[in-house]
Amino acid sequence: MSSHPIDLEAALAGFDAIWSPRIIARINDYDVRLARFSGEHVWHAHERTDEFFLVLDGEIDIALRENGGERVVTLPRGSVFVVPRGVFHKPSARAEAAVLLVEPAGTSSVGDSHEEVPGHVEVTTGHPAWTGGRP
């Protein structure tokens, strides 16, 4: 990880893959990831961890299955939301959005439990990001 400030716009400019998060920093045992959202992800749940979302650009929806029903939370630019551990959720974006995520290192992008993963969603624990830092 970089020992210099990270320019989020430069880090985002370093990739264009949708649903393929990039790790920009590590805090203790947690990854700080950048991702591009567009279209629908997959219904999934993280059994042992909450998932933090911060919308940097655009707008996203997070569908949630809880208490025997479904609801959708809409997050415009600048909004933060935490999906509690064990809650099935499905992020989506009508247009491309940039999102910062925080979750334990090694957490799968499709959780511990999930429905069938569509081809446009990468199953990953994140990729190193180019952060524009000095060598």
Is residue 119 helix, strand or coil?
Answer: coil
pLDDT for residue 134? 40
pLDDT for residue 118? 82
Gyration radius of the chain over CA positions: 14
pLDDT for residue 1? 54
Phi, psi of 79 (to 5 degrees): -90, 150
pLDDT for residue 14? 92
Angle at 112 between CA 119 and CA 1, to 5 degrees: 80
pLDDT tens series, the chain, 135 aa: 567 899 999 999 999 999 999 999 999 999 999 999 999 999 999 999 999 999 999 999 999 999 999 999 999 999 999 999 999 999 999 999 999 999 999 999 888 888 888 888 888 888 888 765 543
pLDDT for residue 7? 92
CATH code reported for the domain at 22-128:
2.60.120.10
pLDDT for residue 42? 95
CA-CA distance, 59 to 45, in Å (whole number)?
Answer: 21
- Domain ranges, ordered by start, for the chain: 22-128
Residue 107 is classified by DSSP as -
